[in-house]
Amino acid sequence: MLQLLMYSSCTDDDLKNTATISSKKITLSKDRSYGVDVTYSDSAHVKAIGFAPVLDKVTPSVGAIYNEMPKGVKIEFFDEFMKKTGTITSNYAIQKTTEKITIFRKNVVVVNDKITFTTEELTWDENKKMYFSPYGTVTTKDGDVITGTEFYAPQDFSTYKIIQAAGTTSIKGDLTQ
């Protein structure tokens, strides 16, 4: 029987590299809250109310603080008379407070009086007051279905733009005349 014996050695340079790598560790601290309701208002008017079963405020040792909603989120939007105008729901969300960006992921559904928009990822840019998604499907109240590779909408979802759109629509009326 042939036995192979190998020797390995560490040099001083290897030990220095190990110390450098271990000094670059980033630690995270989390403050967890349960059953969170957040009210967003502007000029004393409620614009939206957000609900999250779990909210983690994450503070990394390096980098910006962010909020994570690992169990999902639901946001209800209101007009000036407190009438609900729409909702966003997702199974996960992360809010980057310094960048003023919120990313909704996993089963994202936006509903308002005109459309239902579904996707796996939707980003709200608070600075631009815009939503955008790399792909998604719009279903109108008339039953039209439009899919595309890029989706853009103002934060009130009053209009939307879809790049490389394709879909189905129903035509009303008599087409023979």
Q: Give first-to-last CA distance, the chain, whole Å.
A: 93
Taking residue 45's Cβ as centre, other Cβ atoms within 10 Å add up to 12
Q: What is the predicted pLDDT for the residue at 4?
A: 45
Alpha carbon separation from 86 to 15, 79, 111, 117 (Å, rounded): 58, 10, 5, 11
Q: For the segment 23-81, what is each residue's pLDDT rounded down to a tens digit?
A: 556 676 778 889 999 888 888 888 889 999 999 998 887 888 899 999 999 999 998 88
What is the CATH architecture assignment of 26-168? Sandwich (2.60)
Q: What pLDDT score does 39 carry? A: 87
Question: pTM value?
Answer: 0.77
Four-residue CA torsion sign, 87, 93, 96, 101? negative
Tell me the domain boundaries of the chain: 26-168
* Predicted confidence (pLDDT) per residue in 136-174, tens digit: 999 988 888 999 999 999 988 888 899 998 888 777 766
| pLDDT score at 22 | 52
pLDDT at 2 over 50: no
The mean-pLDDT minimum among 21-25, 72-76, 98-102, 129-133 falls in 21-25
Residue 25's SS3 state is coil
